[in-house]
């Protein structure tokens, strides 16, 4: 009976203890921070959770383009390099803690989006912090702003004339390019996973894109164009906020829209307007961890009880 007792002792609680340690250590360190900016200003965004990184850590600043794709904008590997026509730079300050800061100069509505601070682990990129950047436009006559919460659906309208009945697309502007989302013939960019639905009313001459189950990375400036991009038909700035914070962001946005801006074209630096909140961004693994915690704890307790029962039985047989 000695061998079974040793086997249960080794393979039971020890393994479960290791699983519990893995459960604790695998907690996601990804936090969501909201930053509001005004068109034409420059802003600095510092990684608040990079302070404990090693001095040789590779830190990236990227923009979330789809569920799985984050477009690398700047990296600590080449901090002196300028991107997006010298509008984005990164600096690193060494001291008691490492501080990485991205400077985005003369931000525009098309810079609105979900950005991430990432760390290279040697095998993949680990998300350190997520930044929801919304460049709040002083609404001009040719730009419509739509505000919605994550998980909602919105409709983007594209009116066209009698002479513009040929094929059209909705695209999302990233820098100076516009990445297509959906075509008037029904073709959908696979990154959007069938969430856009296109409809066309030839009588009223309006093409409508309905975007369902909104994600935070859907933030951005959308354009309706003739297929080929020769003629711009409509622009819409889509602002998607976390579901629980939609009303608060609307109040903050209205305050920003009332601000008077001077020297808009000069590359001055001013602090970004940041909402006083830091919200945890949970992934699928975070949810599964909590679901699996109770069964793991019960198994640990069961193995411990079995160990005591078998141990007592072994001692009783030795006495006999």
Q: What six digits make up the tokens of 256?
A: 């920003």
Whether the pLDDT of residue 2 is over 50: the answer is no
pLDDT for the residue 38:
87
Burial class (CB in 10 A: 0-12, 13-18, 19+), 58: middle
Distance, in Å, from the CA atom of 292 to the CA atom of 26, rounded to the nearest integer, reads 13
pLDDT digits (tens, 9 = 90+) for 54-87: 777 888 999 999 988 999 998 888 754 445 557 8
Contacts of 103 (CB under 8 A, 6+ apart): 42, 43, 44, 88, 89, 90, 91, 269
What 3-state class would DSSP assign to 8?
helix
Distance, in Å, from the CA atom of 182 to the CA atom of 197, rounded to the nearest integer, reads 8
pLDDT digits (tens, 9 = 90+) for 187-212: 999 999 889 999 988 888 999 999 99
pLDDT for the residue 156:
96
Q: What six digits make up the tokens of 199?
A: 């409809």
Q: Where are the beta strands (DSSP E) in 76-219?
A: 88-93, 99-104, 113-120, 125-135, 144-149, 154-159, 168-174, 177-183, 196-201, 206-211
Of residues 263 and 250, more confidently modeled: 250
Least confident of 63-72, 151-160, 213-222, 272-281: 272-281
Distance, in Å, from the CA atom of 25 to the CA atom of 130, rounded to the nearest integer, reads 20
Q: HSE (CB half, 13 Å, CA atoms) of 4?
A: 11
Whether the pLDDT of residue 268 is over 70: the answer is no
pLDDT for the residue 225:
92
Q: Which of 16-30, 199-213, 299-313 has the highest mean pLDDT?
A: 199-213
Of residues 273 and 191, more confidently modeled: 191
Whether the pLDDT of residue 33 is over 50: the answer is yes
Contacts of 228 (CB under 8 A, 6+ apart): none
pLDDT for the residue 260:
29
Averaged confidence pLDDT in the chain: 75
Query: Among candidates 198, 221, 14, 213, which has minimal Cα distance to 111?
Result: 221
Task: Work out the average pLDDT over 141-168.
Answer: 88
Per DSSP, the residues of 169-211 read EEEEEETTEEEEEEETTS-B-GGGTT-EEEEEETTTTEEEEEE
Least confident of 14-28, 75-89, 264-278: 264-278
Of residues 243 and 85, more confidently modeled: 243
Least confident of 165-179, 194-208, 234-248: 234-248
Instruction: Measure Cα distances from 254 to 4, 36, 161, 278, 284 in Å.
Output: 70, 12, 33, 21, 34
Instruction: Measure Cα distances from 166 to 141, 182, 226, 259 in Å.
Output: 26, 15, 7, 41
Distance, in Å, from the CA atom of 268 to the CA atom of 106, rounded to the nearest integer, reads 8
Query: Among candidates 160, 153, 149, 134, which has minimal Cα distance to 35?
Result: 134
Least confident of 123-127, 174-178, 251-255: 251-255
């Amino acid at each position: 009976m000695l061998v079974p007792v040793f086997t249960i002792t080794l393979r039971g609680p020890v393994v479960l203890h290791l699983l519990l340690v893995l459960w604790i250590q695998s907690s996601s360190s990804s936090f969501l921070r909201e930053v509001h900016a005004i068109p034409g200003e420059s802003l600095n965004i510092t990684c608040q959770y990079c302070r404990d990184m090693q001095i040789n850590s590779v830190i990236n600043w990227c923009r979330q383009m789809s569920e799985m794709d984050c477009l690398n904008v700047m990296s600590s590997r080449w901090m002196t390099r300028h991107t997006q026509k010298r509008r984005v730079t990164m600096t690193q300050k060494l001291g008691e803690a490492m501080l990485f800061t991205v400077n985005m100069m003369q931000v525009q509505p098309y810079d609105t989006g979900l950005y991430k601070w990432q760390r290279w682990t040697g095998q993949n990129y680990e998300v350190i912090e997520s930044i929801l950047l919304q460049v709040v436009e002083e609404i001009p006559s040719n730009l419509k702003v739509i505000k919605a919460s994550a998980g909602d659906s919105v409709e983007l309208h594209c009116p066209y004339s009698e002479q513009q009945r040929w094929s059209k697309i909705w695209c999302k502007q990233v820098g100076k390019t516009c990445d297509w989302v959906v075509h008037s013939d029904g073709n959908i960019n696979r990154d959007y996973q069938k969430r856009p639905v296109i409809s066309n009313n030839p009588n009223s001459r309006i093409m409508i894109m309905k975007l369902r189950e909104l994600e935070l990375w859907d933030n951005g400036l959308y354009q309706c164009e003739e297929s080929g991009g020769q003629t711009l038909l409509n622009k819409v700035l889509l602002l998607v906020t976390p579901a629980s914070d939609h009303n608060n962001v609307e109040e903050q946005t209205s305050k920003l829209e009332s601000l008077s801006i001077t020297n808009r074209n000069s590359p001055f630096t001013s602090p970004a307007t940041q909402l006083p909140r830091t919200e945890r961004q949970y992934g699928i693994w975070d949810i599964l961890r909590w679901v699996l915690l109770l069964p793991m704890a019960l198994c640990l307790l069961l193995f411990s009880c079995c160990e005591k029962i078998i141990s007592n039985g072994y001692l009783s047989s030795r006495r006999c």
